[in-house]
Structure 1
Amino acid sequence: MKKIVQSTIISIIFFGMCGCNSFKPTDLTTSNQVTNQTDSQSQKIIKIGGSSSTITVLKLLAQAYQSQNKTVKIEFISNSQSEGAIAALKNDIIDIAGSSHKLKPEEDNGKIQYREIAQDLLLVATNNSVKGVNNLSTKQLKAIYKGEITNWRELGGADANIVVLDRPEDESAKKLLRKYYLGTEKTTTKAVILNKEGELIETLQSTPNSIGAFSLAYSLINKSPVNHLSLNGVAPKSQNFANGKYQMVRHIGILSDKVPSAPTQGFIDFILSKEGEKVLQNNGFVPAK
């Protein structure tokens, strides 16, 4: 029995070696060196996940931080919603979660914490093909989303059917539209539902006569060729948010362990610093107070 066990161990070692390229005595030393280097590097890798609405701002901050800290690598793991990112954080899959809502009691395991970092204005925009419509009242916007107004001609535009691009009801953009403008009325069944904000923006840019709501900062960063609409005569601009005239804004925050790793803490410190605030301001976000 002892001989059989020894034979099995030798076979495992032999075939393990054969699985590599031709083995040389120096390979063992090289392998150890590579492992040590990998371990060292892995300690400086920061993994981030978040909803599509938060990833844009976190990538901007990550780019600015990595330009100054070459030894730190920031990787993004895509999640479709804040809830998924928070779950990944609690399961140690990521180091930082981007969220468009504060930590809910049922999400709090006592080991993570939330920090708000920015406000992101949401705008209502149309495809560039829409002419003659620059402002909508709450009543008009409601009627569009309910399917009561279906042609741009009814709003002073050309004779063309309105294409409503929308987000799922549990997404932050749709929740804010309901809170400030739409109320509880059902959205028309003809609306095109897009799960991710990026998908909505791409579709809006490529679909004539379409309308949708998304991040002002994203539009400014990417110089999106779309028409920004004023709502009740108020343009979606940061100064109008500052003076309280424009209220449709999404709060963006980050979650991390209460005692994060040193690399993660370094990035968080940068986000909350004056330099981090400058990155946010330069890209259309309003830094959190």
Structure 2
Amino acid sequence: MKLSKKLGALLGIGALSLGLLVAGCGGDSAKKEAPKATTIEGKVTAQGSTALLPLLKIAQEQFEGKNPKVTINITGGGSFTGMNQVANKAVDIGNSDVELPKELADKGLVDHKVTVMPFVFITNPDVKTTNLTQQQAIDILTGKITNWKDVGGADQKITIIHRAKSSGSRATIAKIVLNNQNFTDNAVILDSNGAVKAAIATTAGAIGYVDVPYVDKSVNMLNYNGVAYSEQAVTSGKYPVYAYGHMYTNGAPTGATKAFIDFILSKDFQESASPKGFIPVTKMSK
């Protein structure tokens, strides 16, 4: 009887020790298998559309704040410059207001639609015209109308200030408003949306076009075909002058480039942090 009791006690102690040993090993295993957060690092270069710059600059600041080992360099130059640069692998991302032209269709570029960019006509504050029909806009931009009195304004010369042929903004207006008619050569040509807005603000009788984030109190924003710009007017199809913002990569993006594009496409950035005037792609009805 005594022997049986001793044997039972020894077996109990052995089982307890084995249990503790197994538990200890399990704990070590769990610690070893815990996933580690991946550190994003590297350098990303992007060039192209100045219409996209207000969005990308905010995204850059926020992304670099969350990922201090990443450096992002973003420059303008126009949509077609950006697409050509990424096609030649000179930059990681080519920013554009327009779809790829035919000559770049076979270069292996991958399109990432990141936003919707509405464009508006703006004038110097001394211009009293508040609305342009499509035909009036065509007549002004092609040089047929050269005085504001011919579109309901004062007897004042019209000065056109807009973008170069490398600009996606120009291509958008040419396609949607002009139906691909030629702009007049009698115009002031500048290299960015910001420069266009600043020049119009200080030039009497001036008119041009920019995407909405550049508009401020220094210029007047015109209605188009009797419709005032608003996000709802764009998403419902009532206001047609807009373009998609593209970020093209040469092949599928990887590393920091992919992480930056994914960040811009995230719901939080699209709906909360994206600058006023840019519209999330998911809000478009068509």
Change (3 A) 1:74 1:121: same
Of residues 233, 240, 247, the one that matches 1:247 is 240
The within-5 A match list for 1:117-196 is: 117-131=114-128, 133-169=129-165, 171-196=167-192
SS at match of 1:260: coil
- Counting aligned pairs with the same residue, the percent is 28
Q: Which has the larger radius of gyration?
A: 2
Q: Check whether the contact 1:60–1:279 (CA below 8 A) recurs between aligned residues.
A: no
Of residues 258, 266, 271, the one that matches 2:264 is 271
The within-5 A match list for 1:170-249 is: 171-219=167-215, 223-249=216-242
CA distance in 2, matches of 1:225, 1:110: 42
Q: What amino acid sits opposite 1:122 in the alignment? A: F
Of residues 51, 54, 57, the one that matches 1:56 is 54
CA distance in 2, matches of 1:124, 1:49: 25
- The residue number in structure 1 matching 2:91 is 94
SS at match of 2:247: strand
SS at match of 1:268: helix
SS at match of 1:284: coil
Q: Report the alpha carbon displacement of residue 85 of structure 1 after superposing the two structures with TM.
A: 2.3
Segment drifting more, 185-194 vs 110-119: 185-194
Q: Check whether the contact 1:270–1:276 (CA below 8 A) recurs between aligned residues.
A: yes
Point out where structure 1 has 5 or more consecutive residues left out of the alignment. 1-40
Q: CA RMSD, aligned part only? A: 2.6
Q: Report the alpha carbon displacement of residue 267 of structure 1 after superposing the two structures with TM.
A: 1.2
SS at match of 1:286: coil
Q: Report the alpha carbon displacement of residue 82 of structure 1 after superposing the two structures with TM.
A: 2.8
Change (3 A) 1:137 1:65: same
CA distance in 2, matches of 1:110, 1:185: 28
Q: What amino acid sits opposite 1:275 in the alignment? A: D
Q: What amino acid sits opposite 1:101 in the alignment? A: V
Q: Check whether the contact 2:177–2:241 (CA below 8 A) recurs between aligned residues.
A: no
How many residue pairs get aligned? The number is 244
| Cα offsets for 1:44-69 (capped at 9, x unmatched) | 22222123223332212112222322
Q: TM-score, normalised by structure 2?
A: 0.75
| Cα offsets for 1:97-154 (capped at 9, x unmatched) | 21222334542556541111111001011011212x1111222222222333322233
